[in-house]
Structure 1
Amino acid sequence: MTMNIRTYAGIWLAALAVVVILLVLFQNILLPFVAGMAVAYFLDPVADRLERAGLSRTLATTIITAAFTILVVLFLIFAVPLLQGQIIDFLGNLPDYFQAARGWAEPVIERWTNKFDTEQTDRADAVIEQFSERAAQFVLGMLGNIWAGGMALVNFLALLFITPVVTFYLLRDWDSIVARLNSWLPKAQAETIREQARIMDSTLSGFVRGTGMVCIILAVFYAATLSVAGLQFGLAIGLAAGILSFVPYLGSLGGLIICVGLAFLQFDEGWRIAVIAGIFIIGQLAEGMFLTPKLVGDRIRLHPVWVIFAVLGGGTLFGFVGMLIALPVAALFGVIVRFGIGQYLESKIYLGDEEAVKPEETSDTQQS
């Protein structure tokens, strides 16, 4: 039996709907599997290289998975306790910071409110209070969604044991999985699909590897310089600011606001506050002028507004996992959209019948 285009499209749309529903239903347990799939994808070239060196696929996968697991365990043993201590101390000092900030801001607010009459002051207080309540509700809602979707992150056993297992099996069978999917492609469109898949692979691997290097470099730079500058909790805040740099301006701007605020509360000398601000200015300049152009380039080809929207949308839909996969999915979606636009610009819908006929008429005239 031969399927027509409408039936064919209906089957694919139904399959896509089922996948989306399953992702929503099982989003709380996705993190170890998403992490394992991502690790297997990016370590596959290493496994291929070891295979070419003469190792079997299973042995190469075992070596790579064991090395990756050892690195993660070492990080958990040495870095996590230090970061955990700084984070706990920071959260414990938050009430003192709020109290100090309030004591600094009250005289300024009092001088400002003295310029207005009582009715205007009460109206401004009501507006500020309403805005604060809505902002607090928004932040708490976002944190709740991230927490609900990121419970697998808290589950230490899931990440420590399930992720390496998923990584091992996917990495071992990666080439056979790709070959099987390739054999299922419709023969009439197989070459087009393979070409777009190669573009997606180049875009995704290049962008994520480049962005990962940028985030690592900035995290080390911010953590080291803030610690040397003597800022409390500089290690934890610097690492967080660097890691969040994959979202445009979020890491640098958020880190700048937090660190300058802490510097105001911690230091009395103005030059030390200026040093803290200068660290983030230098980091932002280095990212924009050197790191991102050299390591990432224009692989993702997404406007910063769409990048921010993708991260927030992924976090809203799938919590912490959604935030992790938002940019790779957006990059792949961008490849599909650009391909569709290219097809549209070459079609009769865009060119019209007259434009589509002109090249043929021109060639006939030249021959005559």
Structure 2
Amino acid sequence: MRMPIHKQIIWWSVAGLLLLLTMWLLGQAILPFILGAGIAYLLDPVADRLERMGLSRTLSVVVITFVVVLIFVAAVLLLVPIVVRQAAALIETMPDMLQQGQEFLTARFPDLLPEGGTLGSAMSDLNAAMGEQWGTIAQSVLTSVGGMISMVAILVIAPVVAFYLLLDWDRMVRHIDRLLPREHAPTIRRIAGDIDETLSGFLRGQGLVILILGTWYSIMLMLVGLPFGFFIGVMAAILSLIPYVGVLIGGATAIGVALFSFWGDWFWIASVVAIFGLGQLVEGNYLQPKIVGGHVGLHPVWLLLALSVFGTLFGFVGMVAAVPMAATLGVIARFLTERYRDSALYTGQVLPPEPGQPQLIEIVPTGTVEQQIRTARLAADRNRAQGQIEEMQHELERKNAE
């Protein structure tokens, strides 16, 4: 007997609410596992390509792990200390920059900041507060983000989870596919494929864009001699995950530091402006269209909304999961929109029901219903046995491939 649609919706809604409740209750505890799953998802195409080149799955994962660990260690030893040092120095220097900016505006535009005026008093109070608190804030942020225990857990557990998930990724996907409800399996596969295309296109494409922009901004700002140039370039590139946010915040910070450091030397100030202008020009006209593409479907406003909502509900875990959840909800929203356009609610016309099949009433001998039940049970047993045989075949193929 077929389960009614409304009962299926209730069951899947309850499962979704339980998932959200789990994220909200566990919070920081599941962060390493979410990060590990994300890493495995991003690296699975690389492992598949190495397999097509002739390597076994295990050897492919080992090679990928070695390369990733090597890159990570190099980044920690060479790049992270520079970023942390320049970030701390910029935070400590910020009150002096604001004070100098206020003095410049007061001297050049006295009507804008009159002595004792509201805006002038507010800026003075801000400078005083920043001078007292920025050092403590910087030390707290740089030394205890999430606590040392959480940081160690992320650095240790996430790579281990990523390694094992990457090793069994294809088998895990096949197992999940076999568990899909048979009635809706084609639709679920289609939605999952659209989510995968959206999410992978955005993450891999945007990651490459961030890498290119970060290299350009950081190297060029260091070449022009801008203080804290490496940190500002990296920050602007990472914030470019949201269009225009990176260039606005990074560009404003870089130009402010350039005015503070190069005042009177307009060539270097113009050079900083040109670096961000050229970076924005290349990103908007080449990198985003060619690498990310317009088929991704993650609108900046939708992404900002997802970051805000999931960050508020689930904290840092929600911000990590915001991009996948935004991609998932976006694809589901487009699917529901298609179904809505085909429904009577949109067209205003209710289609007549399909004519039912004529019923044939036949008098059968005693025991016929019991025989039909036995036949149905035998068919169900055969289906379960066939599923077990398929799993054994998949396991044998995996062992032969290794």
Q: What amino acid maps onto 2:80 in structure 1?
A: V
Match in the other structure for 1:239? 234
Distance 1:65 1:152, change over 3 A: farther
Contact 2:106 2:112 in 1 (8 A): no
- Length-normalised TM-score, structure 1: 0.83
Is 2:303 the partner of 1:304?
no
Distance 1:203 1:15, change over 3 A: same
State how 1:1-368 maps to structure 2 within 5 Å.
3-108=3-108, 110-112=110-112, 151=146, 155-267=150-262, 268-353=264-349
Contact 1:61 1:168 in 2 (8 A): yes
Q: CA deviation at 1:162?
A: 1.0
Larger Rg: 1 or 2? Answer: 2
The share of aligned pairs that are identical, in percent, is: 39
Q: Pairwise CA RMSD of aligned residues? A: 3.0
Q: What amino acid maps onto 1:339 in structure 2?
A: F
- In 1, distance between residues paired with 2:274 and 2:331? 38
Structure 2 unaligned residues grouped into runs of 5+: 353-402
Count of residue pairs the alignment pairs up: 339
Q: What amino acid maps onto 1:164 in structure 2?
A: P
- In 2, distance between residues paired with 1:45 and 1:335? 21
Q: Describe the SS at the equivalent of 1:248.
A: coil
Contact 1:344 1:350 in 2 (8 A): yes
Q: Describe the SS at the equivalent of 1:30.
A: helix
- In 1, distance between residues paired with 2:327 and 2:147? 25
1:7-52, CA deviations, whole angstroms, 9 ceiling, x for partnerless residues? Answer: 3222222221111111112222333222211110111122223333
Query: Which stretch has the larger CA shift, 60-69 or 183-192?
Result: 60-69
Structure 1 unaligned residues grouped into runs of 5+: 358-368
- In 1, distance between residues paired with 2:274 and 2:305? 28
Q: CA deviation at 1:164?
A: 1.3
Distance 1:150 1:5, change over 3 A: farther
Q: What amino acid maps onto 2:61 in structure 1?
A: T
- In 1, distance between residues paired with 2:261 and 2:101? 11
Q: Describe the SS at the equivalent of 1:226.
A: helix
Q: What amino acid maps onto 2:244 in structure 1?
A: Y
Contact 1:227 1:235 in 2 (8 A): yes
Q: CA deviation at 1:170?
A: 0.7
- In 2, distance between residues paired with 1:50 and 1:272? 47
Q: CA deviation at 1:167?
A: 0.5
Q: Describe the SS at the equivalent of 1:274.
A: helix
Q: CA deviation at 1:198?
A: 1.3
- In 2, distance between residues paired with 1:228 and 1:125? 36
Contact 1:247 1:311 in 2 (8 A): no
- In 2, distance between residues paired with 1:45 and 1:227? 35
Q: What amino acid maps onto 1:255 in structure 2?
A: G
Q: CA deviation at 1:2?
A: 5.9
- In 1, distance between residues paired with 2:148 and 2:56? 33
Q: CA deviation at 1:264?
A: 0.9
**Higher RCO (CA-CA < 8 Å; seq separation 6+):** 1
Query: Which stretch has the larger CA shift, 321-330 or 283-292?
Result: 321-330
Query: Which stretch has the larger CA shift, 304-313 or 77-86?
Result: 304-313
1:297-332, CA deviations, whole angstroms, 9 ceiling, x for partnerless residues? Answer: 113324322222222333333333433332332122
Q: What amino acid maps onto 2:42 in structure 1?
A: F
More helix by share: 1
Contact 1:31 1:153 in 2 (8 A): no
Q: Describe the SS at the equivalent of 2:44.
A: helix
- Length-normalised TM-score, structure 2: 0.76
Q: Describe the SS at the equivalent of 1:151.
A: coil
Q: What amino acid maps onto 1:176 in structure 2?
A: R
Distance 1:305 1:166, change over 3 A: same
Contact 2:105 2:112 in 1 (8 A): no
1:55-108, CA deviations, whole angstroms, 9 ceiling, x for partnerless residues? Answer: 332332222223212221121111112222212222222232232222223335
Contact 1:37 1:167 in 2 (8 A): yes
Q: CA deviation at 1:241?
A: 0.5
Distance 1:170 1:44, change over 3 A: same
